[in-house]
Amino acid sequence: MKYINEQIVESVVSGFCIPAKPELLTLLQADGQANSANVKAEALIIEKDVGLASSILKTVNSPLFGLNAKFRNIQQGVCFLDA
């Protein structure tokens, strides 16, 4: 049986915190659960977060998909990923 040092456990636990759920995620979940969910509404929500928007464009424009054309806006990228 292994002995656990209580001081080490306390130091690890005291520095641990779970971040709050981002508002953007809450908005996307609400839109996704609505009967009238659409790509345009999702794109408008995603555009509020520059990091997420750039990640989506980086993903859809990556060589992984092998596309000739580049997506220039979030709505196009979300529509492609939604398909």
Domain assignments of the chain as residue spans, ordered by start: 21-82
| pTM recorded for the entire structure | 0.66
pLDDT at 54 over 90: yes
User: What Å distances lie between residue 72 and 24, 40, 54, 57, CA to CA?
Assistant: 22, 15, 10, 8
The angle formed by the CA atoms of residues 74, 56 and 22, to the nearest 5 degrees, is: 95
30 — pLDDT class (breaks 50, 70, 90):
confident
pLDDT score for 10 = 81
pLDDT at 16 over 80: no
Question: Which range among 13-17, 43-47, 50-54 shows the weakest confidence by mean pLDDT?
Answer: 13-17
pLDDT score for 1 = 60
Q: How far apart are CA 13 and CA 69, in angstroms?
A: 49
Position with higher pLDDT, 64 vs 5: 64
- Residues 53, 71 contacting (CB under 8 angstroms): no
3-state helix, strand, coil in the chain (%, to 5): 60, 0, 40
- Residues 77, 47 contacting (CB under 8 angstroms): no
